[in-house]
Structures are given as structure tokens and as C-alpha cells.
A = this chain, B = another copy of it.
Amino acid sequence: MRNDTFLKALLRQPTPYTPIWIMRQAGRYLPEYNATRKKAGSFLALAKSPELACEVTLQPLERFALDAAIIFSDILTVPDAMGLGLYFVEGEGPKFERPVREEADIARLDVPDLEKLRYVFDAIALTRKNLKGKVPLIGFSGSPFTLACYMIEGGGSDDFRRVKSMLYARPDLLHRILRINAQAVIAYLNAQIAAGAQAVQIFDTWGGTLSDAAFREFSLAYSMQVLAGIGHDPQGAHVPRILFTKGGGQWLEAMAGSGADALGIDWTTDLGDARHRVGSRVALQGNMDPMALFGTPATIEAEARRILGRFGEGPGHVFNLGHGISQFTSPEHVHALVEAVHSHSAGKNPA
């Protein structure tokens, strides 16, 4: 591995500078991504082709000095493999043909055959080969709760009325879905690791929509099952795991005891406060507002410095945005961010 700053920072080991990667770094803000997607014909065709998924995974690394790659995929591959029928409507986000709402649907639900997700593992193996040790490759999954949101709602939602109606009126049904999702995510992430993923991130995109009590019972408890079930890599080494709950800033103490090596945090949390609260238990990943990239190169640099300053001295910081990059972002502004993070953190965490 030529650049292991990302893996070291996740384990709170010193690095010569603060590593950076960007959620959704392989995406629509890059013209070369849009060209490959056009070639694939659709988002799903792109995600299901190991060669094209590998191609777009590597694209941002050609442009920017990023310290990690993340396999190009979708968080909803697991419910798709369960038979729910994932599809995309342009401009509307993901949807399922067969959402899981009735008790009979839930009784039928089961952990999917991993062979149906072979395309993800093949993409990881191919990308590892083509990366040639340049930077580590991240695998990922949606959290059991976040998967359940899409599975029950049948798509995105403003209020999550269906999933919350089940949570409050029939918590037993939601718990059954979550148990199955947790088992499926464990198997899925372990297979990603077997294929070559060197770190894994759990995206708990919707845990932050829950009450404090419901978050602990329906989101965090199942993310913790997943974290407990993640095994070592083929060489027997520990695989760093990141837990990212959007809107989870109020629960960092609980998440610090989840078994994750690092917590992803969004931009609403002050990074200095977060570090004070979690102490030496976990590393922190984040946390610039993706919209800060709509400033000027000078204000982007200033915001990057401010965030580095809020984290302060010492190891354990992976720079990132607090959520996925917007499709309307200028690639030149991403370049300014990566350069600012590297130059202003150099020597801060001496190896």
C-alpha cells in the first residue's frame, strides 16, 4: 500500500497529514462519470457491471489526490437481492417495485443468496487489482434501519410515515425486518471484505429521523449487530469500520461504544465538541457542509482550515464532507478542497 494514511487515521495512528475522501466522490459532478453512465445506459446497469463500476470508482482518483477509493455501488443492492425490485426514476431517487408492508410480505422476507450480489464482489476484486495499492478501497452498506426505510416506504420519504406507523403500532414487524437486514448486511460486508474491501462504512442515512429512544432500539442496536459480525480480512487483519448516521450528532457517545473504529459526522456537529465527547474511543470522519463547495476557492480553503482547527492536533481525523457531494459541484472546487486539507494539515499529525 503506497498511501495508508486513511487506514491509519481510522485507527487513530499518526499520519503525515489528514487524509481525505468524499462521500459520492464517483458521481454526477464529474463529466467522465456522466460519460460512463451514458455508455452503461442506466444507473443500475452501471452499478451492476463490474468493469464500469471499477472504471467510475477510479475516475476521481485520476483528478484529485484523494486518500481512499470507495467502490461504486448503491446502498439498496441488498433489498434488491431480496427480490424487492430496485428501480430508478430520473430525478426521483430509488424505488422498489415490491415494497414490504403487509405481515405476509414480512414473513416471507429472508437473507438473500449472496450470489445475486456477485457483481459487487467482482467489482471490488477488479478495482483492488487496478488500484495497484495506490490507496485503500472502502466497501459499504446501508444500515439495517436505513434499508428498512426504503423497503417499507418503497422509496424516499419526507416523513417516513409508513415505517414509523409500523414502528409505533407494530414494532414486532419492524424488528423482524431489522433482524433479517442485519444478518444480510453482515454476510454482505464480509463478502466485500473477502473480495478485497479494506475498510467498510455503514450508511445510516435515516437513523437521524428517529426519536432518541427509537434510534437506540431500531437503528443503533442493529448497526451494532452488524459491527459485531464483521470479520477479519483474508490475511487475518482487523478491517476498520465507520458508522455514519446523518443527523446523529446528539448520539455520538452511544455510537462511540458501538464497535465502530470511526464515526462519520455531518456538518451540524462541531468537530471539537465531538472529539471532546468521544474521547479516545473512536476516530472521526467529516464534516464539511457539501454546500460549502459552492463558495469560492478562497472560502473553501478557509472552511477546510476552520474544520481542521476544530479537530485540533493529534491523530484520528479523516476529512470528508458531512454528506454526499452535490451533482452541481464544480470539480475545480473539489480540487481546491483536497489541496487545502493536505497543505494545511501537513505536519499536524507527525508520523
How many monomers of this chain does the complex have? 2
Expressed in whole angstroms, the Cα–Cα distance for A291 and B149 within the complex equals 14
Interface of chain A residues 264 through 304 with chain B (CB within 8 A): 267-270, 273, 287, 289-292, 294-296, 299-300, 303
- The SS class assigned to the A binding surface is helix
Interface of chain A residues 296 through 319 with chain B (CB within 8 A): 296, 299-300, 303, 306
A161 close to chain B: CB less than 8 A = yes
Residues of B within 8 A of A306 (CB): 213
Is the pair A268, B212 in contact by a Cβ cutoff of 8 Å? yes
Is the pair B289, A211 in contact by a Cβ cutoff of 8 Å? yes
Given contacts A268-B211, A270-B213, contact A291 B168 (CB under 8 A): yes
Is the pair A295, B250 in contact by a Cβ cutoff of 8 Å? no
Contact among B168, B300, B322, B326 with A161 in the assembled complex (CB-CB below 8 Å): B326
Residues of B within 8 A of A273 (CB): 212
A3 close to chain B: CB less than 8 A = no
Minimum CB distance partner of A292 in chain B: B168
Residues of B within 8 A of A326 (CB): 159, 161
Expressed in whole angstroms, the Cα–Cα distance for A210 and B322 within the complex equals 11
A214 close to chain B: CB less than 8 A = yes
Per-position contact with B for A144-167: 1 when CB-CB < 8 Å, else 0?
000000000000000111001101
Per-position contact with B for A99-137: 1 when CB-CB < 8 Å, else 0?
000000000000000000000000000000000000000
**Which 5 A-B pairs rank lowest in CB-CB distance, beginning with the nearest?**
A168-B295, A164-B291, A165-B294, A212-B270, A211-B267
Contacts A159-B291, A250-B250 supplied; 16 other A-B pairs, CB < 8 Å: A161-B291, A164-B292, A165-B294, A167-B291, A168-B292, A168-B300, A169-B296, A208-B268, A210-B268, A211-B267, A211-B322, A212-B267, A213-B306, A214-B289, A247-B247, A247-B268
> 7 A-B Cβ contacts within 8 A?
A164-B291, A165-B294, A169-B296, A210-B267, A210-B268, A211-B292, A250-B269
